[in-house]
Structures are given as structure tokens and as C-alpha cells.
């Protein structure tokens, strides 16, 4: 069974890191209710959901994806690019310790899990404001001996690589070409987000179903026209903190 590790919404979420979005009031209670709905969707899709406790001093803790990169063989604890987020990794490392051999990105490397898009044995890593070349080099040194190919992709127009491109099944990638150059993804079937929904490229593929924010109905239609199954979730309050659907879980065995 796929295990989905999540982390509760922090009461201090309104003080989250923001890069591209303007700060607006965030109601942690609304965010927590939406997060619980997201966890229910993961459970309905067959996951065992394990929620780690949040921390009032870690506003972005709910975005647990950024703290680790997990394969069948290894868990790599990241060194998030935002200094405020580095303490988030402590409880995540403790939770993953019994489940995988553990490695960790070391200074001066930085790496956010949101920059890591794994498709089979190919791992695309965004070089972004959060992930630097040394972090990518360290990840490659850990994964390539295990048979993975690591490819660096420049990311300048959005927060993370997976803000702009995610896997949605088979060889299909959902992409916003205005936020990332499509050239590194030649050979994949590219599904473009709808022009009116630039943030829709962050989708979570789980058990053959694409989990997508309900804010993106035009892109949902496009995915369904491709024969893909879509499960919508309302994550509008989490989106105010620049979070999407990939960033709220770590998956093991997906």
C-alpha cells in the first residue's frame, strides 16, 4: 500500500514564505479543513495517510514535499532553499528513518522537493531560487549509482519545477510552457494547461488518478479529454501560501 506522509497546517501559516504571490490573509482553520479534505482524497485513492504533527514555529510545515526526495531505495533529506524552512526536516527525517536508508543534502547545497520531478528512472531537477547547482550535484551523486538519470532544468518564472510541469500518467506530462522550457521534456506527451489557469500544472498522480485543484476546471476538461481520471480537491486557502497538491505529501511506494 502507498504510504502518504502529511504534516498538519501550522497556526502560523499566514507568515509563510512567498515568492510570486502577494500576501493575503490566510485562515489556518480553513486551510486545515481543506488539508483534511485533501488527506481524505489520498485515502480514497488507496493511501495509508500518516500525518506528522505541525509546529507553530514552522509556517510552511504543511508543504512537506520540499523536505525529502524518496525513491524505493533511499530517502534524501533536503536542505530547503528558504532558511526558515530548514528546521522542518527534523521530524521528517525521524519519520522516514524506519522506512528507508537516509541520506542528506549538505551545505552549500540547497534542494526543495518541489523541484524534483521523477518519471520512472529519470529525475528532472529544477535549478531555481530554492535549489542550487550543488544540491543537484549531490542528489545526482546519490541517485545515479542507483540507476537513475538526473537532469537539471532551469526554472526562473515560477517557484519550483513542479509548479510548471508534473507527471499525469504513462508518458504524459501536464505543463505550462510559459513557466518552463519544454525542450528537456521532448519525447513525452505534453498536455498544456489552459491559458487562463497558469498554476494548474501542479497535479498529483496517484493510483492512476490525477489529483487537481478544483480551481482549474478548463485544465480538468483537457485531462479528461485525454482519457485521464481526475479527482478534484479544494485547496484554495493553501494556494494563498503558494502551495499546490504535490507539496502536501511525501509518497512511499506510489
Residues 141-170 contacting ligand CIR, CB under 6 A: 160
Span from 14-22, 24-32, 140-148, 204-212 in contact with ligand CIR (CB under 6 A): 14-22
55 binds ligand CIR (CB under 6 A): no
Span from 46-54, 186-194, 224-232, 236-244 in contact with ligand CIR (CB under 6 A): 236-244
**Phi (first) and psi of residue 40, to 5 degrees:** -60, -40
Using DSSP, state whether 159 is helix, strand or coil: coil
Alpha-carbon gap, residue 2 to 72, rounded angstroms: 11
Alpha-carbon gap, residue 44 to 122, rounded angstroms: 28
- Compute the least distance from the CB of residue 15 to ligand CIR, in Å: 10
Choosing from 4, 5, 16, 58, the residue that interacts with ligand CIR (CB under 6 A) is 16
**Catalytic site residue 16?**
no
197 binds ligand CIR (CB under 6 A): no
**Catalytic site residue 160?**
yes
Q: Which C-beta is closer to ligand CIR: that of 215 or that of 226?
A: 215
- Compute the least distance from the CB of residue 213 to ligand CIR, in Å: 12
Q: Which C-beta is closer to ligand CIR: that of 82 or that of 170?
A: 82
Q: Which of 16, 35, 47, 160 is catalytic?
A: 160
Alpha-carbon gap, residue 120 to 148, rounded angstroms: 8
How many residues interact with ligand CIR (rule CB under 6 A)?
Answer: 17
Single out the residue of 81, 83, 147, 156 nearest to residue 118, CA to CA: 147
Asked, as a colleague might, if the bond just before 130 is cis with ω within 30 of 0, I would say: no
Q: Which of 16, 47, 247, 248 is catalytic?
A: 247
Kind of pairing between the strands at 204-206 and 209-213: antiparallel
237 binds ligand CIR (CB under 6 A): no
114 binds ligand CIR (CB under 6 A): yes
Q: Which C-beta is closer to ligand CIR: that of 47 or that of 250?
A: 250
244 binds ligand CIR (CB under 6 A): yes
Choosing from 30, 36, 74, 82, the residue that interacts with ligand CIR (CB under 6 A) is 82
Query: Which parts of the chain are beta strand (E)?
Result: 3-7, 48-52, 68-70, 75-77, 102-104, 116-119, 122-127, 149-154, 165-169, 172-175, 189-192, 204-206, 209-213, 229-233, 250-252
Contact 174, 228 (CB under 8 A): no
Alpha-carbon gap, residue 167 to 203, rounded angstroms: 8
Site residues for ligand CIR per CB under 6 A: 16-17, 19, 60, 63, 65-66, 82, 85, 114, 160, 241-244, 246-247
Residues with a known catalytic role? 160, 247
Amino acid at each position: 500500500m502507498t504510504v502518504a506522509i502529511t504534516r498538519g497546517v501550522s497556526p502560523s501559516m499566514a507568515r509563510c514564505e512567498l515568492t510570486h504571490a502577494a500576501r493575503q490573509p490566510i485562515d489556518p482553520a480553513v486551510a486545515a479543513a481543506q488539508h483534511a479534505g485533501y488527506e481524505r482524497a489520498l485515502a480514497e485513492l488507496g493511501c495509508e495517510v500518516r500525518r506528522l504533527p505541525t509546529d507553530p514555529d514552522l509556517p510552511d510545515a504543511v508543504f512537506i514535499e520540499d523536505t525529502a526526495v524518496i525513491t524505493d531505495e533511499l530517502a534524501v533529506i533536503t536542505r530547503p532553499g528558504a532558511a526558515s524552512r530548514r528546521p522542518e526536516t527534523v521530524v521528517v527525517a525521524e519519520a522516514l528513518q524506519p522506512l528507508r536508508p537516509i541520506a542528506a543534502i549538505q551545505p552549500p547545497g540547497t534542494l526543495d522537493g518541489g523541484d524534483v520531478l521523477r518519471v520512472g528512472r529519470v529525475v528532472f531537477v529544477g535549478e531555481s531560487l530554492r535549489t542550487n547547482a550543488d544540491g543537484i550535484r549531490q542528489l545526482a551523486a546519490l541517485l545515479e549509482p542507483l540507476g537513475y538519470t538526473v537532469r537539471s532544468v532551469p526554472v526562473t518564472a515560477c517557484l519550483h519545477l513542479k509548479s510548471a510541469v508534473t507527471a499525469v500518467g504513462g508518458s504524459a506530462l501536464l505543463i505550462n510552457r510559459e513557466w518552463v522550457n519544454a525542450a528537456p521534456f521532448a519525447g513525452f506527451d505534453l498536455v498544456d494547461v489552459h491559458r487562463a489557469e497558469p498554476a494548474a500544472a501542479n497535479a498529483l498522480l496517484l493510483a492512476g488518478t490525477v489529483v487537481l485543484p478544483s480551481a482549474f476546471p478548463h485544465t480538468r476538461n483537457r485531462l479528461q479529454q485525454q482519457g485521464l481520471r481526475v479527482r478534484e480537491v479544494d485547496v484554495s486557502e493553501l494556494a494563498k501560501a503558494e502551495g499546490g497538491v504535490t507539496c502536501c505529501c511525501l509518497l512511499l511506494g506510489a
